[in-house]
């Protein structure tokens, strides 16, 4: 479930993580089923989609009108998104989803590199560890969202687990085998972070985060930019 919020001030990953936990607890669902989106950070094209398809639970009419004005820029940005993502004009591919998910990957990857990996693992505070877990989870979820979307677009069949999405794309020749195997491993890590059925070894998580942020994310983004959606 996506919960879209217009915050009155900038929130940290820790703030958002706490809000996710609160919403999940109130709804009686796992945190993995909740994703909080900050309206101040979304691009006009995605904002347009949110306002068209979302359900307003609470909001000032004047603020909503401002959001609609901002969202109107989304039509003009569609051409820019198509050029950026190098996608053919296939109507079944939601370019807004692809672009927004890649932005989510990039934003959290930059956070990991600049805020977490800048410290030695033994220097990380408890808050740093929580933020690292959340950022890695969001990177994994965003990459898998793209894989999930393209698996549906190409009608690659029903899958039973997140690990299967990149595998199906690789089998169809849409994704390099090596990248698919790496994403399958990241999907497994995502499940551990989401459901906490195993304790996470901080040293291993730090090493994996370094590998994801510095090597796998750039490779994934390059694949998205060059992929063929025919």
| CATH 1.20.120.580 location in the chain | 95-228
Cβ neighbours for 202, distance < 8 A, ≥ 6 positions apart: 121, 124, 129
**pTM to 2 decimal places:** 0.62
Q: Which residues contact 155 (CB under 8 A, 6 or more apart)?
A: none
CATH node for 95-228: 1.20.120.580
pLDDT at position 154? 86
DSSP string, 6-47: --SS---HHHHHHHHHHHHHHHTS-GGG-EEEEGGGS-HHHH
Supply the pLDDT for residue 163: 87
For residue 171, what is the DSSP state? H
| CA–CA gap between residue 111 and residue 152 (Å, rounded) | 30
β partners of residue 3: 36
pLDDT tens, per residue, the chain with 230 residues: 778 777 777 766 667 777 777 887 888 877 667 777 777 766 666 777 777 777 877 777 777 777 777 766 555 544 444 444 444 444 467 888 899 999 999 999 999 999 999 999 999 999 999 999 999 999 999 999 999 899 988 888 877 778 899 999 999 999 999 999 999 999 988 888 876 645 678 999 999 999 999 999 999 999 998 874 44
Q: In degrees, to the nearest 5, what angle opens at C-alpha 221 toward C-alphas 18 and 153?
A: 90
């Amino acid at each position: 479930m996506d919960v879209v919020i217009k915050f009155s001030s900038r929130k940290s990953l820790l703030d958002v993580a706490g809000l996710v936990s609160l919403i999940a607890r109130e709804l009686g669902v796992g945190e993995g089923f909740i994703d909080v989106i900050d309206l101040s950070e979304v691009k006009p094209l995605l904002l347009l989609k949110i306002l068209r398809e979302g359900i307003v639970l609470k909001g000032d009419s004047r603020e909503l009108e401002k959001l609609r004005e901002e969202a109107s820029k989304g039509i003009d940005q569609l051409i820019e998104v198509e050029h950026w993502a190098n996608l053919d004009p296939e109507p079944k591919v939601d370019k807004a989803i692809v672009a927004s998910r890649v932005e989510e990957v990039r934003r959290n990857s930059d956070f990991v590199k600049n805020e977490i990996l800048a410290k030695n693992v033994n220097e990380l505070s408890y808050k740093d560890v929580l933020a690292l877990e959340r950022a890695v989870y969001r990177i994994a979820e965003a990459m898998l969202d793209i894989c999930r979307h393209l698996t549906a677009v190409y009608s690659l069949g029903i899958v039973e687990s997140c690990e299967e999405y990149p595998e199906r794309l690789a089998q169809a020749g849409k994704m390099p085998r090596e990248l698919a195997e790496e994403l399958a491993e990241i999907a497994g890590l995502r499940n551990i972070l989401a459901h906490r059925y195993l304790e996470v070894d901080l040293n291993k998580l730090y090493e994996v985060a370094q590998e994801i942020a510095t090597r796998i994310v750039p490779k994934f983004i390059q694949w998205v930019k060059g992929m063929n959606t025919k």
